[in-house]
């Protein structure tokens, strides 16, 4: 992708620290611990929403996660695929090709397609090895998970490949996406007050 938009850390949740994040923001990624409390909430939420279907826009790009420890890659795909009108791709971008090829597929089909996509897999593995910490193997049990928050049609969506469908969190806008997503992130933190393993990053327009 062309570096016109960049991921950057969100250093804190109070207005002063949020004001340091370059604008506009088109996606927010949350890394959080998968705890017993969270798993119980997730199950409860799924059961409730199965009985009360949400109004999810057909324009939302959503995929399931079937590859172990690939939640970061799934989060990135969710962030990018739902912001194609903002982002610029290189001419031969494997990511753009993947999104175009899978855009009309069901969430499970997208996941199966990703399993077979060599270009994304190779990029994922090489990026994972470039980090400052040793990357876990695909099969290693990791209790941290990435999800994405995006604005599609003026609605805030939580996109989590471990869930059966997107979660609608109400109205948002291009101007308020960061603040609106942070309000949902605060609920995740309040659910596990003893936990400190939360990280938020924002996909912002490069201001330099």
User: Catalytic amino acids?
Assistant: 71, 145
Contacts 24+ apart (CB under 8 A), 95-104: 95/1, 95/120, 99/61, 102/63, 103/61
Closest CA to 188 of 155, 154, 160, 165: 160
CB 12 within 8 A of CB 179: no
Closest CA to 80 of 123, 38, 42, 49: 123
Q: Is 170 left (phi over 0), alpha (psi -120 to 50) or beta?
A: left
């Amino acid at each position: 992708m062309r570096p016109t938009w960049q991921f950057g850390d969100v250093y804190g949740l109070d207005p002063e620290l949020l004001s340091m994040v370059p604008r506009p923001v088109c996606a927010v990624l949350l890394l959080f611990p998968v705890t017993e409390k969270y798993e119980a909430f997730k199950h409860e939420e799924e059961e409730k929403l199965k009985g009360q279907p949400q109004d999810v826009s057909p324009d939302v790009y959503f995929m399931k996660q079937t590859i172990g420890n690939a939640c970061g890659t799934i989060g990135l795909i969710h962030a990018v695929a739902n912001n194609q009108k903002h982002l610029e791709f290189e001419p031969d971008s494997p990511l753009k090709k993947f999104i175009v090829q899978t855009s009309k597929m069901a969430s499970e089909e997208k996941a199966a397609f990703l399993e077979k996509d060599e270009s994304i897999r190779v990029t994922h593995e090489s990026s994972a090895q470039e980090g400052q910490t040793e990357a876990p193997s695909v099969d290693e049990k990791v209790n941290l998970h990435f999800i994405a928050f995006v604005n599609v049609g003026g609605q805030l969506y939580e996109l989590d490949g471990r869930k059966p469908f997107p979660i609608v969190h109400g109205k948002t806008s291009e101007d308020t996406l960061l603040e609106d997503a942070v309000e949902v992130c605060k609920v995740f933190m309040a659910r596990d007050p003893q936990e400190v393993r939360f990280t938020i990053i924002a996909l912002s327009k490069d201001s330099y």
